[in-house]
């Protein structure tokens, strides 16, 4: 029989923080699917039903984890996390579940708040709108069999289900789905499925953003770099991130995107902020076009659908640039609105 063992000083307990903020845009049913996936994949780990692609040392770490894990669901507005009774019972079979209301808190502050309610050696943040693939949780946690690993994220991609989603798969912030299974240092990483050793997260947390609603991960990367802690991405652990749910959602998200880049260094009116936000919109538009011409077949676009995809990408980055321009006109108003 194969003998495997976890690394010395390996973590023993998992804590999971799931924010409920994204249900405002993507709905409670999708969040229930995420929670069901968490329960199913954690049960598979508990029963030793592990992916064949998992390394022996990773298997050892997973076998050493406490069979009970913390699951904290945090919401910033009433009525809070609406879990049906059947799902609540299912989750309670494997997790110590808490549903907490922290009124007024947004995306990153909710994650910080939830982390403070947990006690596990490993701290997993997962969003309420990302759909994990099979084996996601085992591969993500198994990465910590290497005692030098302090932070690991999974790969985020947009599933190309229709023309709108295919346009966002090609033109948005996420890379195309990668089946290589590599463990890499990503150029960019995201907070929608990421695991920290607790002592690492306690040294950083997610920094306050002021009037911005997104962008704390770039600050986190700077903090981790200063500590000499690299971020890894395990491309055996993949999640599907939805595109915007409607044209209105796309517009709001793009306007917020432009504002957040404008306010990266200052919340007051600056020519540098305007140049940065409009310049980034232009560069990402060009990148989206380039990726579309190179990979339209990869995501299943038909030749006749390519112009529509290019139009969608152009619309997004047009509103992105407009977000920067409007922030230059009225920074305070833009800071109050478009909280996504």
* Residue 79: predicted pLDDT: 57
| Residue among 63, 46, 79 at smallest CA distance from 6 | 63
* Residue 123: predicted pLDDT: 97
Strand ranges (E), 76-164? 95-101, 122-127, 131-132, 151-157
Residues 6+ apart with CB under 8 A from 257: 214, 320, 323
| Residue among 77, 67, 83 at smallest CA distance from 14 | 67
* Residue 1: predicted pLDDT: 30
* Residue 319: predicted pLDDT: 98
* Residue 80: predicted pLDDT: 54
In the chain, which segments carry CATH 3.90.550.10? 14-161+172-240
Contact 215, 277 (CB under 8 A): no
Rg (CA), the chain: 20
| Residue among 27, 128, 43 at smallest CA distance from 90 | 43
- C-alpha to C-alpha distance for 277 and 56, rounded to whole angstroms: 46
The 8-class DSSP code of residue 79 comes to T
Q: Which CATH class is domain 14-161+172-240?
A: alpha beta
Q: Which two tokens stand for residue 291?
A: 């990726």
* Residue 77: predicted pLDDT: 78
Q: Strand, coil or helix: what is 332?
A: helix
- φ/ψ of 203, rounded to 5, equals -85, -15
* Residue 89: predicted pLDDT: 83
Q: Which two tokens stand for residue 93?
A: 């079979």
Q: How many helical (H) and strand (E) elements, i.e. helices and strands, does the chain have?
A: 13, 9
* Residue 217: predicted pLDDT: 94
One digit per residue, pLDDT tens: the chain, 340 residues?
A: 333 344 445 678 999 999 998 888 888 889 999 999 999 999 999 999 999 999 999 999 999 999 999 999 999 876 555 666 778 888 988 899 998 989 889 999 999 999 999 999 999 999 999 999 999 999 999 999 998 899 999 999 999 999 999 999 999 999 999 998 889 999 999 999 999 999 999 999 999 998 899 889 999 999 999 999 999 999 999 999 999 999 999 999 999 999 999 999 989 999 999 999 999 999 999 999 999 999 999 999 999 999 999 999 999 999 999 999 999 999 999 999 988 8
User: How is 20-70 classified by DSSP, letter by letter?
Assistant: -TTHHHH-HHHHHHHHHHHHHHHHHHHTT---TTS-HHHHHHHHTS-S-EE
* Residue 10: predicted pLDDT: 61
Strands 14-19 and 122-127: parallel
The 8-class DSSP code of residue 145 comes to G
Residues in the chain: 340
């Amino acid at each position: 029989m194969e003998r495997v063992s976890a690394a010395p000083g390996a973590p023993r307990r998992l804590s999971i923080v799931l924010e409920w903020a994204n249900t405002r845009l993507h709905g409670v049913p999708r969040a229930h699917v995420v929670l069901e996936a968490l329960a199913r994949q954690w049960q598979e780990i508990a029963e030793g039903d592990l992916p064949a692609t998992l390394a022996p040392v990773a298997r050892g770490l997973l076998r050493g984890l406490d069979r009970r894990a913390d699951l904290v669901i945090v919401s910033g507005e009433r009525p809070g996390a609406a879990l049906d009774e059947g799902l609540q019972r299912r989750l309670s079979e494997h997790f110590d579940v808490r549903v907490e209301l922290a009124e007024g808190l947004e995306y990153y502050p909710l994650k910080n708040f939830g982390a403070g309610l947990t006690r596990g050696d490993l701290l997993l943040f997962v969003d309420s709108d990302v759909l994990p693939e099979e084996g996601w949780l085992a591969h993500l946690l198994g990465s910590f069999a290497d005692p030098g690993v302090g932070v690991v994220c999974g790969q985020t991609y947009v599933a190309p289900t229709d023309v709108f989603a295919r346009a966002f798969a090609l033109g948005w912030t996420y890379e195309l789905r990668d089946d290589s299974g590599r463990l890499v240092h990503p150029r960019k990483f995201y907070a929608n499925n990421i695991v920290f050793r607790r002592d690492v997260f306690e040294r950083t947390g997610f920094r306050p953003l002021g009037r911005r609603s997104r962008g704390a991960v770039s600050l986190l990367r700077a903090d981790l770099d200063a500590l000499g802690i690299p971020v890894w991405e395990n491309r055996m652990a993949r999640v599907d991130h939805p595109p915007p749910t409607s044209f209105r959602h796309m517009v709001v998200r793009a306007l917020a995107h432009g504002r957040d880049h404008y306010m990266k260094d200052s919340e007051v009116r600056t020519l540098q902020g305007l140049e940065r936000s409009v310049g980034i919109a232009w560069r990402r538009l060009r990148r989206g076009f380039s990726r579309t011409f190179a990979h339209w077949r990869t995501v299943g676009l038909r030749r006749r659908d390519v112009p529509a995809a290019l139009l969608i990408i152009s619309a997004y980055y047009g509103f992105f640039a407009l977000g920067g321009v409007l922030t230059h006109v009225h920074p305070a108003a833009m800071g109050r609105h478009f909280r996504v």
